Homo-oligomer: A and B are copies of this chain.
Amino acid sequence: MNFEFDERAREMRDRVETFFRTEILPLNPAYRRALKADPAEARAIVRTLQDKARNLGLWNLAVPGLDEDAPGVRLTNLQFAPLAEIMGRLHWASEVFNCHAPDVPNMEVLAKYGTPEQKRRWLAPLLNAEIRSCFGMTEPDVASSDANNIATRIERVGDEFVINGRKWFATAAANPDCRLCVLVGVTDPDAPRGRRHSVVLVPMDSPGLEIVRKIPVFHHVDETSPHTELRLENVRIPVSNLLGKQGEGFAVGQARLGPARIHHCMRAIGTCEVLIQLMYERAGARKTFGRAVIENANVRDMIASSRLELEQCRLMIHRAAWTIDTHGDHAARRDIALIKVAVARAYQAIADRALQIFGAMGVTDDTPVAAAFTQARAFRIYDGPDEVHLRGIFGMEKPGAAGESRFYLS
């Protein structure tokens, strides 16, 4: 066991840290102004930075399974962890390195399950940041936390699939650059549970695919990666757009969800570092009842508890990443479930404390605290609510590990 990053990871971390501090962070005020004024301006800032990052080889850092000739750096999940943290400090920084969701998980499944033609058409432009993509899984009409409930129908008719259904929380679907929806639906309604669903690739310009709305999340629409509601009415795609095998949609989805979840967790840790720093400084700068707020032991406890929770989560993320790298997605299921619950809880707790310390300013949009707080809260639902992951953790308990119980009890 060893808790030091290898040289490759340390070197890349230092390079990304420098790039973040010198190129990205100072542009944050400009980016935020641009986003309010005109999303296209904000995109222009990102594109300029993307060119710089790509030129420095800080590009496609998060997809370990790329083909040899694909552009990108084949970091392991573990090596990517400290980089993702840095990117997570600003919600728009990942895209600068083409390491953002949901494109990266989509790249992952395309790299793993895609045919050469699928890769050429979708993976290549994604790796070049020429297009965006989305993932159509969650549905408004069913409790999607049980994936078996997913009802969108993908019916084979001749050489085509005909798709009917509703999806929401398809992140970035309404981004003007989005060209692809990786979509989960039912191809085999009469198969046994777990064998009914498949994944298909649906071009966003398919007739019958309608963008219903950008969904406000806690009153907020993210103009870059809007959570989007889609309606699919008799959308037709060629059968060659099947990704992976028919009826194995959950396996494809799982391959996608592991990295998706772990990257979200890594980024959340980065946001939490920012929150701790900001609350530390804010508490030092304000006075009440005759002394600096930070002189109060309850405020210090808030900061120390945040540090504690963050460190625990970070370590567990590292182990989960290592497990994926070393033993594969399936072996990492428990670790992924554990970090999903732990990070979401810690994120919410830390953002809650930061908000309290910021007081009235904390609920405004003058600081990143309010957005962090609502994102943290949503994070306890996205990618599966706590309860579903706890259910999974329970299911993986292996009794008897401590020896025969009767000897403890008599």
Of the candidates B148, B307, B322, the one whose C-beta lies within 8 Å of that of A393 is B307
What is the chain B residue whose CB lies nearest that of A305?
B390
Contact A288 B322 (CB under 8 A): no
Q: Which among B145, B278, B405 is the interface contact of A359 at CB below 8 angstroms?
A: B145
| A25 contacts partner chain B, Cβ-Cβ < 8 Å | yes
- Would A367 and B409 be within 8 Å (CB), given that A143-B293, A390-B304 are in contact? yes
A371 at the interface (CB under 8 A from B): yes
Check if A360 sits within 8 Å of B342, measured CB to CB: no
Knowing A2-B1, A394-B300, say if A277 contacts B399 (CB, 8 Å). yes
Residue A68 at the chain B interface, CB threshold 8 Å: no
Q: B residues within 8 A CB of A281?
A: 399, 405
A interface with B by C-beta (< 8 Å)? 1-6, 9, 20-21, 25-26, 28-29, 78, 89-90, 138, 140, 142-146, 148-149, 168-169, 215-220, 270, 273-274, 276-278, 280-281, 286-289, 293, 296-301, 303-305, 307-308, 311-313, 315-316, 318-319, 322-323, 326, 338, 341-342, 352, 355-356, 359-368, 370-371, 373-374, 377-378, 380-382, 385-388, 390-391, 393-394, 397, 399-405, 407-410
Give the residues in chain B near A138, CB-CB below 8 Å.
360
Q: Is the CB of A311 within 8 A of B338?
A: yes
Q: Report which of B149, B311, B380, B407 forms a contact with A356, defined as CB distance below 8 A.
A: B380
Which of A138, A277, A296 neighbours the largest number of chain B CB atoms within 10 Å of its CB?
Answer: A277
16 residue pairs of the A-B complex, CB under 8 angstroms, read A3-B319, A90-B408, A142-B286, A146-B289, A168-B360, A215-B364, A219-B219, A280-B399, A303-B397, A305-B390, A308-B393, A312-B312, A352-B377, A356-B380, A363-B377, A367-B409
Within the oligomer, what is the number of copies of this chain? 4
Whole-angstrom distance between the Cβ of A341 and the nearest chain B Cβ: 6
Residues in B whose Cβ lies below 8 Å from that of A300: 298, 390-391, 394
Which are the 3 A-B pairs with shortest beta-carbon distances? A219-B220, A146-B288, A296-B297
- Please tell me if the beta carbons of A274 and B363 are within 8 angstroms of each other in the complex: no
* Contacting residues, chain B, for A277 (C-beta < 8 A): 399-402, 405
Interchain CB contact (< 8 A) of A381 among B218, B363, B391, B404: B363
- On whether the beta carbons of B298 and A387 are closer than 8 Å, the reply is yes
Q: Bound complex: CA of A361 vs CA of B301, how far in Å?
A: 23
Question: Does B286 contact A322, Cβ atoms closer than 8 Å?
Answer: no
Within the assembled complex, what's the spacing in Å between the Cα atoms of A363 and B375? 10
Rounded to whole angstroms, the CA-CA distance of A281 and B402 in the bound complex is: 12
Question: A409 contacts which chain B residues (CB < 8 A)?
Answer: 278, 366-368
User: Please, how many angstroms separate the alpha-carbon atoms of A361 and B153 in the complex?
Assistant: 22
A27: nearest residue on chain B (CB-CB)?
B407
Chain B residues lying within 8 Å of A304, measured Cβ to Cβ, are 390-391, 393-394, 397
How many angstroms from the CA of A370 to the CA of B218 in the assembled complex? 6
Measured CA separation A91–B307 after assembly (Å): 31
For residue A373, which residues in chain B have a CB less than 8 angstroms away from its CB? Answer: 218, 377
Known interface pairs A138-B360, A298-B298; 7 further A-B residue pairs with C-beta atoms within 8 A, sorted by A's residue number:
A3-B318, A90-B408, A143-B287, A146-B288, A169-B360, A274-B408, A301-B390
Across the interface, which residues of B come within 8 angstroms of A286, CB to CB?
A: 142-143
Q: Is the CB of B364 within 8 A of A385?
A: no
Assess the B89–A149 pair: CB atoms within 8 A. Answer: no
Asked whether, in the complex, the Cβ of B288 is within 8 Å of the Cβ of A370, the reply is no
Cβ of A278: which chain B residues have Cβ within 8 Å of it? 405, 408-409
The reply to whether A403 and B364 contact each other, CB–CB distance below 8 Å, is no
Asked if B322 and A3 sit within 8 Å, CB to CB, the answer is yes
